[in-house]
Amino acid sequence: MVKIVRAAVLVFALVMAAGPARGSELFDQLKREYLDKAGVELVAGTEKFPFVTEHDRIDGVNANPGDIDLFLYMFRKEFGKYPPELLRLSGLKRIVFCSDLLHGGGRRSGVAVSDNATVYLNVRSGVFSERFRRKLMHHEFFHIIDFASFGLDEDTEWEALNAPGIAYSPATATAAGHGPSSDVTHPAAGFLTRYSMADAREDKAELFSNLMFNDLQARDLVKRDNVLAAKVALLKARLLKFCPQLDDGFWARAIQF
Ligand SMILES: [Zn+2]
């Protein structure tokens, strides 16, 4: 009798050890879902690195199944906020869940590449906070929307919203300072994060990701900062034009998650 119980415990232990296989069921399910509803291919474990173009080089390694699954739980909720129509209109083709991501030799948590319409996301656990990782998905996806809706030109209309004397500077935005550059610290009028001061493209992506994540501190700042309020209005007007489903109802739902 005792032996039978031990055997049962052993079998149970083996089933538990097979955890990652169950996780890949989640991946398979989401992969089917996104292909069907939006024509977007999810990639994990099979990507060939590096991806090299004339002006880009992306390096990375395939992530372990446990890290991928953990990330997918967050991804399912965050990307679930988007109507499939937006994903289709953006032209996004692939999302690669990987680890040790490098762009042009520099470490990255995520990269959006227009050449292959791909978003690369670093899913390694224990490196970034959950809040950061949830915002990251929206930030990188916004770059794809921006490429599709606005192109690669300078955004003078956006830059004109900034207070006089404000100049974007990648060096200042990414310099080591107090906490991660993506924290909502309101470093200057019109900016939620230090990283948003890098250039107009990052500024838009930072604002969008905080709206989609529904960062409460960011919401409060938008109420008190006229430049931020004007940026939110322009961003939402452009998005509505790009995809009619991003109307007031969409934003009302986004803050209910
Ligand atoms: Zn960015």
State in Å: Cα 24 to ligand 1 middle: 28
Angle between helices 226-242 and 200-213 (to 10 degrees): 80
Rounded CA-CA distance 228/37 in Å is 34
Q: Is residue 11 part of a domain?
A: no
State in Å: Cα 107 to ligand 1 middle: 13
Verify that 88 and 106 share a domain, yes or no: yes
Rounded CA-CA distance 110/123 in Å is 9
**The total number of structural domains that make up the chain:** 2
Of 124, 151, 178, which residue is a domain's last? 151
Verify that 47 and 129 share a domain, yes or no: yes
Look at residue 1 and tell me whether its pLDDT is greater than 70. Answer: no
Residue with structure tokens 């399910």?
A: 29
Verify that 32 and 144 share a domain, yes or no: yes
Instruction: Show the tokens assigned to 183.
Output: 């924290």
How high is the pLDDT of residue 100? 95
Q: Which residues place a Cβ less than 5 A from the ion ligand 1?
A: 202, 205
Of 151, 168, 186, which residue is a domain's last? 151
Summarize the confidence of residues 116-140 as an average pLDDT.
Answer: 94
How high is the pLDDT of residue 177? 63
Q: Is residue 190 part of a domain?
A: yes
pLDDT tier for residue 179 given thresholds of 50, 70 and 90: low
Verify that 239 and 169 share a domain, yes or no: yes
Summarize the confidence of residues 159-170 as an average pLDDT.
Answer: 93
Verify that 190 and 118 share a domain, yes or no: no
User: What pTM does this model have?
Assistant: 0.89
Q: What is the pLDDT of residues 194-227, one digit of tens each?
A: 999 999 999 999 999 999 999 999 999 999 999 9
Look at residue 178 and tell me whether its pLDDT is greater than 80. Answer: no
Domain around 198: 153-257
State in Å: Cα 257 to ligand 1 middle: 24
